[in-house]
Every structure is written in C-alpha cells, then in structure tokens.
Amino acid sequence: MTLFGYWRSSSTWRVRIVLEEKGLSFDTVPVNLLHGAHLDDTHRARNPLGQVPALAIDGGVTLIQSVAIMEYLDQVHPSPPMLPADAIGRAQVRSMVEVVNSGIQPLQNLAVLKAIEASGGDRVAWSTRWIGKGLAALEALASDDGPWLHNHGPTLAEACLIPQLYNARRFKMDLSAYPKLLACEAACMARPAFQRSHPDQQPDAVVA
C-alpha cells in the first residue's frame, strides 16, 4: 500500500496510526500542501477534492477520506480491532470520530484558514474557537474509566483525537481543561505505533 499524505496533516496521521497499530507495511509519498502539490492534476486524479490522505491499495484502487480509509483497514485487517464489537459501542466510537472529523478538523484546515484570513478574520481566534468547542464535547463523551475514550482502546476515536491535540498545541491552546483527553493521549503516546506515526518521524518532516 502507498499512503499519499503530508507529515503535518492530521487526517494523514490518523491513517498512519491505524496502519501502524495493525502492523501493516506501507510506502509514504509526500504531497506538499505548502507547495500546493495537493491541487495539481496528479493528486486530483487520486482525489478530486484535492485533499490528503489517499491510500493506494492493490488492484489500482485509490481510497480517499481518512474515515473511509480507516474503516476499510479495520474491516480488511481486523486484528487488532479498532472499533468495538457491539453496534452501540461502534456508534459511540464513530460519534467521537465525527466530533473531530466533521466538528473540528474541517474548520481549521489550511484551505479554510487561508479563506478566513482573506476575509479579514484571525486564524488563531477562529481555530481555537472550534477546536475548544469540539474538545470540550469529547471530554464530556469520553469514558470516565480511562485512559481510553471508550472501554478498550485505542480505537478509531483515538486515531482522530491524538492528531487533533497536536493541532491544538500548534495554536498554543491550554489543554488543562481536558484531563481525560490528556490521559488518553499519554496512554496512546506510550505505544510504538503512535510514536512511529508521529509527524516528526515522517520522511517529509521539517523539524525546527
């Protein structure tokens, strides 16, 4: 499999987490968002929306949208499972996935932040507003038992949470209001799969 993505893209990191947790081997092909490589014809042939990640699988098929890719990987490579076995548990994990995937990330990705600045808005104030709202909801939804968001983990919800917390720190947000999320993050980052998938570990990383 070949993962087309960008080291700092939170949606790309989600897919790396699932690939690494399941022990799957894959090649990485960087798509430089800062250079606009996601908008050229080559990448638009993979994803007409011009976003990362995209995952090329066997048979010439390329899958797009991180949630769809993660669900595919969990179905085809079921060990270890990253969704609960029961229908209600699956819905609860998927709802946390979507709090990040539709409730936070789309409002603070690069294309939207450029548009906010172009219309006179402030990218930090805009981003932190929506990230804070979403993380507060996740803190309320997270299991009180910890450290996982829902019973056993990590699940697809952790695969979404950890990259989103990384983004929050890029905006210098104070995360102390989210102790359950921070405990979950600590449990995740103790795992080799999360460590290997970290943006700084990617071949296209630009680390100061």
| Contact call for residues 32 and 206 (beta carbons, < 8 A) | no
CB of 101 or CB of 197, closer to a second copy: 101
Judged by CB under 8 A, the residue of 49, 186, 190, 205 near a second copy is 49
Packed helices 10-21 and 156-170: angle between N→C axes, nearest 10 degrees: 140
CB of 118 to a second copy, least distance (A): 9
Strands 54-56 and 27-30: unpaired
DSSP string, 23-39: T---EEEE--GGGTGGG
CB of 125 or CB of 189, closer to a second copy: 125
Peptide bond into 179 cis (omega under 30): no
CB of 39 to a second copy, least distance (A): 11
Residues 77-106 that bind a second copy (CB under 8 A): 87-88, 90-92, 94-95, 97-99, 101-103, 105-106
Dist. CA 78–CA 120, nearest whole Å? 47
Q: Is 107 in the site for a second copy (CB under 8 A)?
A: yes
CB of 92 or CB of 197, closer to a second copy: 92
Judged by CB under 8 A, the residue of 71, 158, 165, 173 near a second copy is 71
Q: Is 76 in the site for a second copy (CB under 8 A)?
A: yes
